[in-house]
Amino acid sequence: MSSDPVDGPPPHRARRAAPARRSRPIMVAVAIAVLAAVAGAIAFLVPGGSTRPVPVAAPSSSASRPCTQAGRATVVFLDPGHGADLPATRATSGGSQGIYSGENTSQGNEPADVFAVALDAKAQLERAGYVVVLSRDGDPDPARQTLWQKGLRAETAMGGAPADIGVSIHTDLPDTVGAGQIYYDQLGGFRTNTSDGLTARFTDERSAALSRQYAQQFLTARQELGAGAIAMTPGHDFPAGRGLGSWGDIPIIMLTAQQVPWVYNEAPRTSANGLSPADRANYASAIVQGVERSLGPVVGTGTCS
């Protein structure tokens, strides 16, 4: 017969059951610690079979919104014509390398008018998301640049790369041939030095094709805003008799920046004294609409904040 008591469980059995009950909260605590460690550094597989930790981002009020500023910026180069009176000098780089060109102040308040138009258009385009670079930063031009120097500025406007479009802004007397015209790039367009006969030609097929397309969009925009009859022509005549240092059939700024599709605008002045405030505003609106029609809506600014 057993010597164990028959009226209750042995005391030593009760003591063994107690530790089993106490281990449950310990196991739960261990599990929580493991989960926290995993959440702190999630690893994922990368090419080559190695892993790298991915930090868990802190909650943000904008975390659920996509970044709408990603992508390459859309850069517009606005060239308010003239702004300095400079003798012709030889270009040392760019598509017009070796060709002579200078700059002049023009008449009829043109330098001041077109600079005001450019500032107005710049503000509107920047509100729409475009990045805008001007060929000159004041009137008169504080940098006193020649035409080929302005062209180089367009060729490097996008952090050293060419602008997406170049828009040259000019005015002329209402009764002259130049008023109400748009010039675009043409293959084979040239300038020849009057001193030594050196010639440079426009050779960029892509820019020439885009320039003509964009010029058509500007033509439509200007006509819809009541600009009247506008002629669209490849290049423009620069005769040797004008004393520009070179002659030919393409503006120097377009010849220099051949990777930039150009739209060269001439608008009629309100009077011999220049543009009225209303005509300035209308001209700026036409430039903005021409750019928007040519390039479409902005995709990105190149940054995300």
pLDDT tens, residue by residue, 53-107: 433 333 333 333 344 455 789 999 999 999 999 999 999 999 999 999 999 999 8
Q: How far apart are CA 97 and CA 256, in angstroms?
A: 8
Say which range, 58-62, 182-186, 249-253, 299-303, has the weakest mean pLDDT: 58-62
Say which range, 40-44, 205-209, 273-277, has the weakest mean pLDDT: 40-44
- Residue 293 confidence (pLDDT): 98
Whole-number average pLDDT of the chain: 83
- Residue 53 confidence (pLDDT): 40
Q: How far apart are CA 77 and CA 151, in angstroms?
A: 10
Q: Does residue 283 sit in helix, strand or coil?
A: helix
DSSP bridge partners of 75: 131
Q: Where do runs of H (alpha helix) occur along the chain?
A: 11-40, 110-127, 147-155, 205-224, 252-256, 277-295
Out of 74-83, 176-185, 264-273, 293-302, the most confident range is 74-83
Measured between alpha carbons, how far apart are the two ends of the chain, in Å? Answer: 87
**Reading across the β-sheet that carries 199-201, which strands appear in turn?**
199-201, 190-193, 246-248
For residues 73-109, b (16+ Cβ closer than 10 Å) or e, as one string? bbbbbbbbbbbbebebebbeebbbebbbbbbbebebb
Average pLDDT (186-201) is 98
What is the SS3 assignment for 115-129?
HHHHHHHHHHHHHCC
Q: How far apart are CA 76 and CA 125, in angstroms?
A: 9
Cβ(183)–Cβ(233) under 8 Å? yes
| Number of Cβ atoms within 10 Å of the Cβ of 167 | 29
Name the percent of the chain in helix, strand, coil, to the closest 5: 35, 20, 45
Dihedral sign (CA 203, 263, 261, 94): positive
- Residue 187 confidence (pLDDT): 98
Cβ(115)–Cβ(136) under 8 Å? yes
Q: Does the structure show a pLDDT above 80 at 303?
A: no
Find tokens 């001193």 and name the residue.
195
Q: Which of 198, 187, 93 is nearest to 146 (CA)?
A: 93
pTM above 0.85, yes or no: no
